[in-house]
Structure 1
Amino acid sequence: MKTLSKAVLRLHLLCIFFAIGSFVWGYHIGILSSVLVHPGFRRAMGYPTASEKGVITAIYYLGTWVSYIFVSHPVSDRLGRRYAALIGIIVVAIATAFEAGANGPGAYSILIVGRIISGLGIGMISTSVPLYQSEVAPAGKRGKYVVLNHVGFVVGLASGFW
């Protein structure tokens, strides 16, 4: 059996960690279709209309777009890819707290704020993580390592839809 060097083992663990993170991101996107029709969610949100459900879905993507255009590049260049991803994770954790805590009067507004903030964080993560992976992976094997990030996303998305 071939033993891995410490550096290669660390790279494998790092990419697996990123794949798990991407799984959660994909699951977050995929599960929304089930959440929007769940009776408990509908009750907590005050029975949102079809338009409000559309805004709940779309506002997340507006947040990611704003992050892609205005936030992730300057943060990654100033702080580095690793710290940009860390900040993105913190932003998503804060946003998830907003989303999970949305209930009662004003729940729709709180959820919208959480979805926008979540989109901003995901924009930072989804741009900085593959770049960081490609920077730390050996040149000849970058595709092999970076694709784990995308595989994790697709598996998470499929799990959320399932």
Structure 2
Amino acid sequence: MKKLILLMGVCAITFSSCSISKEARAKRNMISGSWILNDVSFANNTGNFKAVLFNDVEDICLEGSDWFFRDNNSTGRYTISPSTLCNGGDRFIRWSVVEREGNNSSQLQFKFIDEKLKDISGGTGYRLTIENLTEQAMKLSSNVMVDGSSVSVVYEFSKK
């Protein structure tokens, strides 16, 4: 059994204000609302993984978490249920949808903010590739390196 702790420093993001395309706007509208993160899994590698995601909690703590995205001011939050393994509570975020040039894919990006909407992450954040998005389901992924090999972390949501 292989136990690894992945420190998810997916990428440092500098958020800039720019207009968004019709496609990104449509995806923002579909994402807006309440979601449940049903499953966190690992692809492109074998073994059992134990990961700290978003520099916050272990992967198991994110399963069943409640996510809310508000599109009119690009804020939201995710809520972790408290347990012996998980530090429960709300995590506030500022989010957007960005289009990746060259490969026609979009990403959901977010950074942590406080209750007063102030950046608490020093401008760094996270980008998750939007693999699939419908009115009722969303599948996101991010790639990390573990022992020199790429591992995809896959997040599967359902709309509440």
| TM-score between the two structures when normalised by the length of structure 2 | 0.28
Higher helix share: 1
Greater share of strand: 2
Larger Rg: 1
The structure with higher relative contact order (CA 8 Å, sep 6+) is: 1
